[in-house]
Amino acid sequence: MMNRRKRNGQAGLLWPALVLCLMLICWPLAGCSAGSGKAHAAGGEEAVGDGMAMTDKEWKEKLTSEQYRVLREKGTERPFSGQYNKFNEDGTYLCAACGQELFSSATKYDSGSGWPAFYDAAGDNAVDEHEDRTLGMVRTEVTCSRCGGHLGHVFADGPEPTGMRYCINSVSLDFQPAGGAAPDTTAHSGEETVVLGAGCFWCTEAAFELIDGVTAVDVGYMGGTAEEADYRTVCSGQTGHAEVARVTYDPKRVSFQRILDLFFVIHDPTTLNRQGADVGPQYRSVIFYSTEAQKAAAEKAIATLDEKLADPVVTQVVPAETYYIAEDYHQDYFRKNPQQAYCQAVIKPKLKKIEDMI
Ligand code: FE
């Protein structure tokens, strides 16, 4: 009897707990993106599904505590609490963790769920989808394809033309107004980003990946008049876009001056629209700055270099514009294809110069 009373006593405590659990489980069924609470990369040296190879500690330093909870631990912001739920400006939504373009305002609509909703992602490669069997349901989780950050879930109850509803946490997003400058997606942590054109972007990326204090590098296109960018059209020279590397760095660990020094070592800033055998405006020397301090430092560095070199420096210094991330096979090209002839003949000697400087 003692045992039964004891069990009954436990059951008396268990039932309210079970009811509470059921309430917690049922709440997100009406909404969209309640997370599992299971850490995405808790405690790991390298985050799971993380193309940026940042440690858990580095993510905590980069993100606010709420962003870390949602993006890295698959959490969910409270419904109707996010800044982009009732928000209808024209522009582009970027990943708050890495700056990748994720959604266009043209696909945003009010689903009434309390979270921002989109009927499509920005391009085929912006987001990844994964089966999520947490909370006793089968749902489809949506993550940033670049950094692996948790964004929300996608459901097949959206409007035409896709019939899909991407239900996304505001806290996972940054916003770039149409025609406006790219937001400082590194503001969360104090990191800064500069976009550099120095000829073939495979070279530029490989060089900056060697630098301590550079926390992320990827390659893409910037600076043209075309509203789309892919390798084939950029190579035609008709889009006006340059091949560029987007370099994110921690100013506490590496100065912008050092970034500039390396930039001018890995290419010839005196050849207009040309780097060696690579000819065309897509190979131009250009610095797309994101802060006034970067602009001033770049202009000063060019003036100093100009006095030293026999030929005039033709490097452009212009504000950062829309960044079009390049196709997957261009990312980490040197690391994935070290034996390829161009990598051996062109990239490897440039990396040797950088290694001698380090
Ligand atoms: Fe991301």
pLDDT tens track of the chain, all 358 residues? 222 222 233 333 344 444 343 333 333 333 444 433 323 333 333 334 445 678 888 888 888 777 888 999 999 987 887 789 989 999 999 999 998 999 999 999 999 999 999 999 998 899 999 999 988 899 999 999 999 999 999 999 999 999 999 999 999 999 988 877 666 655 556 778 899 999 999 999 999 988 877 877 889 999 999 888 899 999 988 899 999 999 988 787 789 999 999 999 999 999 999 998 899 999 999 999 989 999 999 999 999 999 999 999 999 999 998 889 899 889 889 888 888 888 888 888 888 888 887 7
pLDDT score, position 188? 59
204 and 158 assigned to the same domain: no
Beta strands in the chain (DSSP E): 91-95, 101-104, 108-109, 117-118, 127-132, 139-144, 150-155, 165-168, 173-177, 192-198, 214-222, 242-249, 274-275, 278-279, 285-289, 316-319, 324-325
In terms of domains, do 238 and 336 share one? Answer: yes
* Same-domain status, 244 and 166: no
Tokens of 328: 């997957």
CA atoms in the 13 A half-sphere facing the CB of 97 = 31
Tell me, in angstroms, the distance from the centre of ligand 1 to residue 127's CA: 9
- Residue 90 Cα to ligand 1 midpoint, Å, equals 21
* Last-in-domain residue among 129, 145, 177: 177
Q: Which residues contact 237 (CB under 8 A, 6 or more apart)?
A: 280, 281, 282
Q: What does the alpha-carbon distance between residue 188 and residue 63 come to, in Å, rounded to a whole number?
A: 5
Contact criterion met (CB below 8 Å) for 259 and 302: no
User: Which residues neighbour 77 within 8 Å (Cβ) at sequence distance 6 or greater?
Assistant: 66, 70, 115, 169, 170, 171
**Residue 321 structural domain:** 192-357
Rounded Cα distance between 288 and 87, Å, is 29
Residue 41 in any domain: the answer is no
Predicted pLDDT of residue 220:
93
What distance in angstroms lies between residue 274's CA and the mean position of ligand 1's atoms?
32
- 307 phi, psi to nearest 5 deg: -70, -25
309 assigned to some structural domain: yes
| CA of 148 relative to ligand 1 center, distance in Å | 6
Give every strand in the sheet of 214-222, ordered side by side.
316-319, 285-289, 192-198, 242-249, 214-222, 324-325
Q: Is residue 14 part of a domain?
A: no
User: What is the 8-class DSSP label of residue 324?
Assistant: E
For 56, the enclosing helix (H) or strand (E) is: helix 56-62
Cβ-proximal residues to 151 (8 Å cutoff; 6+ apart), any chain: 33, 71, 95, 102, 127, 142, 143, 144, 166, 168, 169, 172, 173
Residue recorded with tokens 């079970």: 18
Whether residue 216 is found in the same domain as residue 67:
no
Compute how many other C-beta atoms are within 10 angstroms of the C-beta atom of residue 255. 13
Is 23 a domain residue?
Answer: no
Quick check: is 123 in a domain?
Answer: yes
| 212 and 157 both lie in a single domain | no
Same domain? For 305 and 198 the reply is yes
Ligand 1 midpoint to CA 265 (Å) = 30
**Are residues 300 and 234 located together in one domain of the fold?**
yes
Tell how far the Cα of 71 is from the centroid of ligand 1, in angstroms.
Answer: 9
320 and 238, same domain (yes or no): yes
Helical axes 256-265 vs 201-208, angle rounded to 10°: 140
Choosing from 177, 204, 230, the residue where a domain stops is 177
Q: How far is the CA of 356 from the centre of ligand 1 (A)?
A: 33
Q: Residue 31 falls within a domain, yes or no? A: no
Q: Which residues does the annotation mark as catalytic?
A: 167, 200
The span from the CA of 150 to the CA of 246, in Å, is: 22
210 and 345 in a single domain? The answer is yes
| CATH number of the CATH domain containing 129 | 2.170.150.20
Output the CA 308–ligand 1 centroid distance in Å: 41
Look at the block and give the residue holding tokens 């085929």: 124
Q: 224 in helix, strand or coil?
A: coil
The CA 101 to ligand 1 mean position distance, Å, reads 8
Residue 319 is assigned to a structural domain of this protein: yes
Q: Specify the CATH number for the domain of residue 267.
A: 3.30.1060.10
SS (H, E, C) 252-263: CCCCHHHHHHHH
Question: What's the rounded Cα separation, in Å, for the pair 197 and 263?
Answer: 9
Residue 248: phi and psi, rounded to 5, are -105, 130
Q: Are residues 96 and 198 in the same domain?
A: no
pLDDT at 185: 56
Q: What is the Å distance from ligand 1's center to 173 Cα?
A: 9
Count up the domains in the chain and report the number. Answer: 2
- Residue 107 has a pLDDT of 98
**In this structure, are 300 and 165 located in the same domain?**
no
Task: Locate 55 and state its tokens.
Answer: 């440690």
State in Å: Cα 77 to ligand 1 middle: 17
Residue 173 phi/psi, 5-degree rounding, is -120, 150
Q: Domain for residue 201, yes or no?
A: yes
Choose the final residue of a domain: 177, 202, 220.
177
Q: In this structure, are 252 and 151 located in the same domain? A: no
